[in-house]
Structure 1
Amino acid sequence: MISHRDPNATATPDSSASDEARYDAQVLRDLPRNFAANLAHGMLGMTGFRLMSAPTFVPAYIYMLSGSKLAVGLALGAQFLGMTLSSIWGATLIEHRNQVMRVVYAVGWLMRLQILGLALSAFVLSGSWALGAACVFLALFGFFGGVQGVTFNVLMSKVIPVTQRGRLTGMRNFLGGLTASGVAYLGGEYLVGSNAFGNGYASTFMLAFILTSIGISALAFVREPKSLTVRASPSRFMQRLADVPGLLRADPHYRRFFFARALAALGTSAVPFYILHAGQFVRLSGATLGYFSLAFLLSQMISNLAWGRIADRHGYRLVFILGVCMWCGATLLLVLGGSLPLFLLAFCGLGAGFGGYQVAAQNFVLEFGKAHELPMLIAISDTASHLMMAIGPLVGGIIATQLGYAPIFWMALAFKTLALAMVLRIEEPRHRQRAGMRAC
């Protein structure tokens, strides 16, 4: 575990061995309720987020508005730039709090309002106004998503034991993916295909907002224990930025994870262009968009059950390695393919591989560091990842405009290969924990 000690960390009153025993007992007692609440949230609450991140509807909508590959990169880059700017700020919001549920709930609603804004702007605006509004709402969606990424993961680390997180993540993503796949198919086949209510994309985004708004209510049933250790007082943003180098120096394994996740995130530079590349060979009708979205989301959904099982048995390191390998193989198939069946198979592999990477990236970090360090450790790795995901689509858009899509895919493959090499040098944290316990 990380040896870095934060002089501003303090124990909450009466934090002793008996408090730890009561904390663990509460976690186990409330586990069925918290597990069920997270599942319900995953089934509906995250539907909109999956549709926003799927490499189909949003890139196709932006391209329809602009006709520009660079604009697609700019719009998607704006979303991840928002996430970059807010992750560390999100950590400062909760480091001193015994409970984080209120922040999670508030930020969750702010994210959903951006999906609503995107839908309404698509209904009432057109041309450059619609494009500008989409960029603003995607940037704000990313900004609040950066805060949510930190706060939600901290909540997860408190209410779900490490040996249960893989199963929960797999089942939650399975149910959420099932809902998102259905919405994606219906959105492509019936909403976009028939231009429902005058704008099929707007109708799809509105349906996503409705479902995800229903789902967030499930989080109200979560029972969160009070943290045993927190920082003594709220942190200043610049102060915490100054602490980043020390946290990275403290543990070489966390540092390798930090760089591996950032490199893999650069590999996402190709994601917005998957659907546009396929569009060079097959007609992107509403039905075709539905098929590709279904292939991506359905494979992501089904594979999450396997990723969760592997994670609980062998750890998230192995999930990261296998997921990125599958992601690389599917990218190769996309580059070499030229027909609808091959592209659908490639999108299945992209969904499964990218899903494995996401599961590992979000959960692997929870096994480093001490409890009071966790918000910043999550925020640091999130910030680097989101910065790369902001830069990547912009660079990808420039390359696509000048050289076409294939060079973007080869560049993404190179970054993902480097990420794999870095992860192979990380020792499985659970082995380190067990070794430390034996040494004690």
Structure 2
Amino acid sequence: MKAVFKKLFYLLHSKEENSKENLPTNYFLILLSNTATKLGDTLSNPKTVLTWVMSFVNAPVYLISLIVPIRESGSMLPQIFLASVVKKKKQRKYVYVFGAVLQFVSVLAMGCITLFFKDSFAGWLLIIALIVFSFSRSLCSISSKDVLGKTIPKNIRGKLKGYIVSIAGILVLLAGLFMLYKSKTDANVYFYSVVLFVASSMWLLAAILFATIKEPNSKKSENKESFKEVLQRINLLRKDAHFRHFIIARSLLLCSALTAPFYILLTQKHIGKDLYLLGLFIVANGIAAILSAPFWGKLADLSSKNVMASAVSIASVLGILIFMLIYFYPMIAKEFYIYPIAFFILGIAHSGVRLGRKTYIVNMAEGNKRTDYVAVSNTIIGVILLITGGISALVSIISVEGVLLVLSIFGLFGAFASYKLKNVEA
């Protein structure tokens, strides 16, 4: 298998010169494990699948509105405290493995809850499982970037991420087509449970693959963590102007993530909640990833900050355009094809935003400093997500279209802030 990985690696990167013996094997183990988790993410996506599942079990609307803020912010908030745990490990891949196993258990629990419970009780149980999932995700997030930085050279990280998203996109496309096929018959509780069971298995597979990565030992931090030291880590925002500017830009980039549920809400409001619509959204997202990820990946290796700026510009212009179409031509809102097309374009944009900002922060620093950057960045973004997500959920009761417009305008500021960042690939 090692020889196969080596041949495939040099087929993809024939011009790359690198003497690291384990590079090809690590490259494909990271590719396969990340592809598995991305498929699992899609099959349990809070913006699409979990929303449908919560509606199916008759969970209250106020619980459904909490899904995205909890899932997104819950995975980020603990990271500033978890950074010290990661920095004390020489082999940081095992932090990822533990987090992946916990995600497997929590999503498996979601499938069981969907199968056996209903109404408010089912909704609360799903929220609890989602909280566990989000915490587990934070372990994987903070450790995976460190392992990536230690095992994969800077000049091919963007391409690797692009291949991951593209391959996962093909699998997502197949999953969406299967859901379109199932929409011809009545999808019942067993169907949704099986979807979540398959999603959970992806994290178990990822844990197994990631555990076999040949990771060089990290410099182990012997310092005992105190609350004062946590505050000192936050103090990076004051001392490090480059990092502070990245945080500002990343905060404004949230438009591409936060607007996604509102395209779903607009669809449900004007078209309905049929399963075929869920299938269309998943297919649109899969095709977007397949087409755009390799392109964004190659560009990110040249300039990840330009990828961030370009991608969020697409998301912002799209949101403003959809608002204007619905506001000035309300009959268009009844045309079902508008929403999958918009979601496809948003998928292209969001793929670029995610790939660009992940590549940027990995390339900003090395070693324990990278771990601190990731931890502080994700914790602050988690707080911002929780606040803006909660406000957006409340305001959407008044006007879904209005929230879409405001978030899109903020995205334009994010494009400008991203463009003004330093080029860390230079």
Q: TM-score band, normalised by the shorter chain?
A: 0.7 to 0.9
Match of 2:223, as an amino acid? Answer: S
Unpaired runs of 5+ residues, structure 2, are: 1-16, 326-331
1:331 deviates by 2.2
For residues 105-140 of structure 1, the C-alpha deviation after alignment (integer angstroms, 9 at most, x for no partner) is 111111121111111111111000111011111121
- Equivalence for 2:242: 253
Whether 1:179 aligns to 2:171 is: yes
Counterpart secondary structure, 1:429: coil
- Equivalence for 1:14: none
For residues 370-405 of structure 1, the C-alpha deviation after alignment (integer angstroms, 9 at most, x for no partner) is 42211110011111222222233322221121x121
For residues 229-266 of structure 1, the C-alpha deviation after alignment (integer angstroms, 9 at most, x for no partner) is 44233433x23321134312333122111111122226
Alpha carbons 1:270, 1:412 under 8 Å: kept:
yes
1:153 deviates by 0.7
Alpha carbons 2:63, 2:124 under 8 Å: kept:
no
For residues 316-369 of structure 1, the C-alpha deviation after alignment (integer angstroms, 9 at most, x for no partner) is 101101111121233234432522222221111111101111112222111223
For residues 138-187 of structure 1, the C-alpha deviation after alignment (integer angstroms, 9 at most, x for no partner) is 12111111221111111111111111101110111111222223223324
Moved more, 287-296 or 42-51: 42-51
- Equivalence for 2:400: 405
- Equivalence for 1:425: 420
Counterparts in 2 of 1:268 and 1:427: CA distance versus 1, 3 Å: same
Counterpart secondary structure, 1:210: helix
Give 2:232's match in structure 1, choosing from 234, 240, 243. Answer: 243
User: TM-score, length-normalised on structure 1?
Assistant: 0.85
Alpha carbons 1:333, 1:346 under 8 Å: kept:
no
- Equivalence for 2:196: 205
Counterparts in 2 of 1:201 and 1:330: CA distance versus 1, 3 Å: farther
* CA RMSD in angstroms, aligned pairs only: 2.3
- Equivalence for 1:224: 215
Moved more, 135-144 or 327-336: 327-336
Match of 1:233, as an amino acid? Answer: N
Runs of 4+ in 1 over 6 A off after TM superposition: none
Match of 2:311, as an amino acid? Answer: G
Counterpart secondary structure, 2:259: helix
- Equivalence for 2:111: 119
- In 1: Cα distance, 2:129 partner to 2:379 partner: 20
Counterparts in 2 of 1:319 and 1:295: CA distance versus 1, 3 Å: same
Give 1:51's match in structure 2, choosing from 37, 43, 50. Answer: 43
Unpaired runs of 5+ residues, structure 1, are: 1-24, 432-440
1:68 deviates by 5.5
Aligned length: 402
- In 2: Cα distance, 1:351 partner to 1:421 partner: 21
- In 2: Cα distance, 1:325 partner to 1:69 partner: 32
For residues 42-73 of structure 1, the C-alpha deviation after alignment (integer angstroms, 9 at most, x for no partner) is 33233112333463112233344457654332
- Equivalence for 2:145: 153
Whether 1:350 aligns to 2:346 is: yes
Moved more, 203-212 or 327-336: 327-336
The 5 Å alignment of 1:278-297 reads: 278-297=267-286
Give 2:320's match in structure 1, choosing from 327, 332, 346. Answer: 332
Counterparts in 2 of 1:187 and 1:54: CA distance versus 1, 3 Å: farther
Counterparts in 2 of 1:116 and 1:265: CA distance versus 1, 3 Å: same
- In 2: Cα distance, 1:193 partner to 1:376 partner: 50
Counterpart secondary structure, 2:214: coil
Counterpart secondary structure, 1:46: helix
1:292 deviates by 1.3
Alpha carbons 2:306, 2:418 under 8 Å: kept:
no
Match of 1:258, as an amino acid? Answer: I
- In 1: Cα distance, 2:212 partner to 2:261 partner: 36
- In 2: Cα distance, 1:43 partner to 1:430 partner: 25
The 5 Å alignment of 1:368-383 reads: 368-383=364-379
Counterparts in 2 of 1:413 and 1:208: CA distance versus 1, 3 Å: same
- In 1: Cα distance, 2:266 partner to 2:192 partner: 20
Match of 1:374, as an amino acid? Answer: R
- In 2: Cα distance, 1:352 partner to 1:300 partner: 6
Counterpart secondary structure, 1:283: coil
- Equivalence for 1:7: none
Moved more, 287-296 or 270-279: 270-279
- Equivalence for 1:277: 266
Moved more, 257-266 or 403-412: 257-266
